[in-house]
Chains A and B, each alone.
Chain A
Amino acid sequence: GESVGLHLPTLSVQEGDNSIINCAYSNSASDYFIWYKQESGKGPQFIIDIRSNMDKRQGQRVTVLLNKTVKHLSLQIAATQPGDSAVYFCAEKPGGYNKLIFGAGTRLAVHP
């Protein structure tokens, strides 16, 4: 079936370190990928997205890498801050469909 999975359910990092959150997707026909951050009691908040014709995209302190060969997506957060503590979801959009398929999420805990 369709699935977007994550390698690590929980990631603990020290403040100031770089964080890497990984995600495996299963649908080779997906042409769009996106990362969301969800804090307790809130809806998912957009972080960064990337299309399948790209390998890398950078934002402010965040970078998304896409490896279509192994169907792998990663989110890198530079100089992780306490405010980055949240659950992070990757999601994919299969080509021709009007939906995002979300993974189960990774909890990022930032310690001072």
Chain B
Amino acid sequence: ETGVTQSPTHLIKTRGQQVTLRCSSQSGHNTVSWYQQALGQGPQFIFQYYREEENGRGNFPPRFSGLQFPNYSSELNVNALELDDSALYLCASSVQGRGNEKLFFGSGTQLSVL
């Protein structure tokens, strides 16, 4: 186990709703990254947080937003949910800096949008 915990494990929402996913990073890690994994595909980078600020973003619209807290935990918020947002959302923690590119993933939150 990596020590990265995510909640909830499963979630069902309807189109147009908003959702908040949570992540606690591994002890000693100061950076959190979020990835979206559609069924049968590899994870896609959403964004990364370091020192409570966004530190890189993938090709996701602004309705995907995040937060990082002083204890390095993080939230992913998605507004105006669309059917295509149905996916496994993965959180990964790491330590910022060269030589620390290895990401440690949680088990993810499976989001279904109906």
A residues near B (Cβ < 8 Å) are: 4, 32, 34, 36, 41-46, 49, 89, 91, 93, 97-105
Partner of A98, one of B41, B55, B90: B55
User: Does B48 lie at the interface of the complex (its beta carbon under 8 Å from any beta carbon of A)?
Assistant: yes
Q: For the complex, what is the distance from the CA of A83 to the CA of B32, rounded to whole Å?
A: 29
The reply to whether A44 and B105 contact each other, CB–CB distance below 8 Å, is yes
The interface on chain B, measured as residues whose beta carbon lies within 8 A of the other chain's beta carbons, has a size of: 25
The reply to whether A45 and B105 contact each other, CB–CB distance below 8 Å, is yes
Q: For the complex, what is the distance from the CA of A97 to the CA of B48, rounded to whole Å?
A: 11
The reply to whether A99 and B48 contact each other, CB–CB distance below 8 Å, is yes
Q: B31-45 CB contact bits vs A (8 Å, 1 = yes)?
A: 001010000111111
Known: A44-B103, A49-B102, A97-B56. 15 other contacts (CB 8 A): A34-B103, A42-B107, A45-B2, A46-B102, A49-B101, A89-B42, A93-B101, A98-B33, A98-B55, A100-B101, A101-B45, A102-B42, A102-B43, A103-B42, A105-B42
Instruction: Name the distance in Å between A46's Cβ and chain B's nearest Cβ.
Output: 6
Q: For the complex, what is the distance from the CA of A91 to the CA of B90, rounded to whole Å?
A: 15
User: Does B106 lie at the interface of the complex (its beta carbon under 8 Å from any beta carbon of A)?
Assistant: yes
Shortest Cβ distance from A91 into B: residue: B42
Chain A residue contacts of B40, Cβ below 8 A: 104-105
User: Does B66 lie at the interface of the complex (its beta carbon under 8 Å from any beta carbon of A)?
Assistant: no
A-B contact pairs, 16 of them (CB 8 A): A34-B103, A42-B107, A42-B108, A43-B106, A43-B108, A44-B43, A46-B103, A91-B42, A98-B33, A98-B55, A98-B56, A99-B45, A99-B48, A100-B101, A104-B40, A105-B40
Instruction: Please report which residues of chain B, range 71-114, place their CB below 8 angstroms from some CB of chain A when the two chains form the complex.
Output: 90, 92, 101-108
Chain B residue contacts of A34, Cβ below 8 A: 101-103
Chain B residue contacts of A45, Cβ below 8 A: 2, 105
Given A42-B107, A43-B107, CB of A4 within 8 Å of CB of B42: yes
